[in-house]
Structure 1
């Protein structure tokens, strides 16, 4: 009986920023180079102080609406990837760093790819989420920097 090793997994953390398509493209490139499965991840942070209005009057209703919107957005992004690239989406409620670290452990990801941007000093180079992920992740983190940031 021949045992085959599953392809490695690469996670890519995506938000709804204008930089997300470039981050996804970089992750897709890595996945193709490594023959890896790409998992596009969206962490949905639940708002704490949202007024209650119909039809999303319940906390569960608001949460499901936000998760469903994130699934649709990721599906649209993944539809633009090259045919034949093994890719799937994962949408979870929670803090982005926690979601990415948990999924990296669950999937035994080889890399976590995330966009890098920020506001000051260390975080200016990487961005708050990327900087926190570098400290928390037990796997390698690839930070995709926007070329236009070099001018800042």
Structure 2
């Protein structure tokens, strides 16, 4: 490895738009690894620019740091994710994103009505969820969790 392949933490921060403290945090979490100079200063591989960028993108897509660490750990010898890795990761994310879309669509459909939690309007809830039949299915916003008004009406 040549010296020009190593960059100080400040340059990594500048190149990725991430605060130095965040880079130290990622290092502490094992997402990136610094090499140390004889004086103890952190030096990162130039390739870590791509690795930090991957972390940022994965976070924006909703992956937790633990999930990101697990994905990075699957790579051989600390290699940065490549196109094939990203295809595998993004394919796994599709089901999660699809579930979020379904939940958001359900929320949008119910937005103008009581969602079964009793907090929006007692007057509407009395009409839409008479005698709080949704509660018979369990705690929480039953309609938002996927129960439908007709299914709940049949329970009561």
Q: TM-score range by the shorter chain?
A: under 0.3
> Which protein is richer in helix relative to its size?
2
Largest Rg, 1 or 2: 2
> Which protein is richer in strand relative to its size?
1
Higher relative contact order (CA 8 A, sep 6+): 1
